[in-house]
Amino acid sequence: MDAMMSASREFFRQPSEEKQKCSNLVDGNGKHYQVEGYGSDKVVSEDHGLNWNDRLHLRVEPEDERNFAKWPSQPESFRDVLHEYASKTKKLRDLVLRSIAKLLDIDEDYFVNQISNKASGFARLYYYPPCPRPDLVLGLRPHSDGNLLTILFVDDDVGGLQVQRDGKWYNVPAKPHTLVINLGDCLEIMNNGIFRSPVHRVVTNTEKERLSLAMFYAVDEETVLEPAPGLLDDKRPPRYRKMLTKDFVAGLFEHFRQGKRFIDTLKI
């Protein structure tokens, strides 16, 4: 964990021209983006809220689909450290999913079995520089994760992550060597809304920089997204309509750009 944080910090402290070698722009005119690489989201409208952060987004799963052209060559340790870190968090993903299934009293491997070898996993590194006007901008605007499960590793002593409950925002404490497990919208649907996918955001800091690393794990795009049959009976009907994961992802991005949650449109 220390090596991963150190390599991340070293990457973001490099000169801009070095970081741009991993740019997510396909061409030089700034109009064509790809999922992987260094840079921000595409701005789709004038009222598109901008986030106060620098970021690097890399595919780690499946391993044979990693695009090493977008993985930093500097610092030299980066690739090996991320490979090792991703292998550990993948095991943790399965442990958490099995634990949730046991809590729900369904087959322990039910959620793990929804993840094929083709399911994607991404590492997203965020750098939040000190912000002179935290009243004007967020580090990351409010949203819920649309994937299955997120494993988040944050700076030891710099907070900023907040979760929403009943319309109020609560700080998530920053603790050394602690991972935050965040359930995504796909898992909320699959557990029929018993465990929820929280809306969260990141606020900025006037004095300190902040680093975080989120590992996003998804379901295979051809999987039918629906509540687990073992959680349904006459007294517990499905709370969400079913759909292919790839169709859910398409709807997710469209609603995210509008500042809305797609999962709300699927509730029965």
pLDDT at 204: 79
With bands split at pLDDT 50, 70 and 90, how would you rate the model's confidence at 61?
Answer: very high
Q: Which residues on neighbouring strands pair with residue 126, listed in sequence order?
A: 55, 212
| pLDDT, tens only, 81-137 | 999 999 999 999 999 999 999 999 999 999 999 888 888 999 999 888 777 776 767
Strand-pair category, 149-154 with 210-217: antiparallel
pLDDT in tens, 166-208: 999 999 988 889 999 999 999 999 999 999 999 999 887 778 8
8 Å CB contact between 130 and 138: no
Q: Which residue has the tokens 């499946």?
A: 62
Averaged over 207-232, what is the pLDDT? 91
Question: Which tokens go with 179?
Answer: 């991972």
Give the whole-angstrom CA distance, residue 183 versus residue 76: 33
- Domains along the sequence of the chain with CATH: 1-265 (2.60.120.330)
Q: Where does the pLDDT of residue 26 fall: very low under 50, low under 70, confident under 90, or very high at 90 and above?
A: low
Whole-number Cα distances in Å, 121 to 147, 199, 231, 249: 9, 21, 27, 14
Q: Return d(Cα 51, Cα 195) in angstroms, integer.
A: 28
Say what the pTM is: 0.88
Which residues sit opposite 54 in a β-bridge? Answer: 127
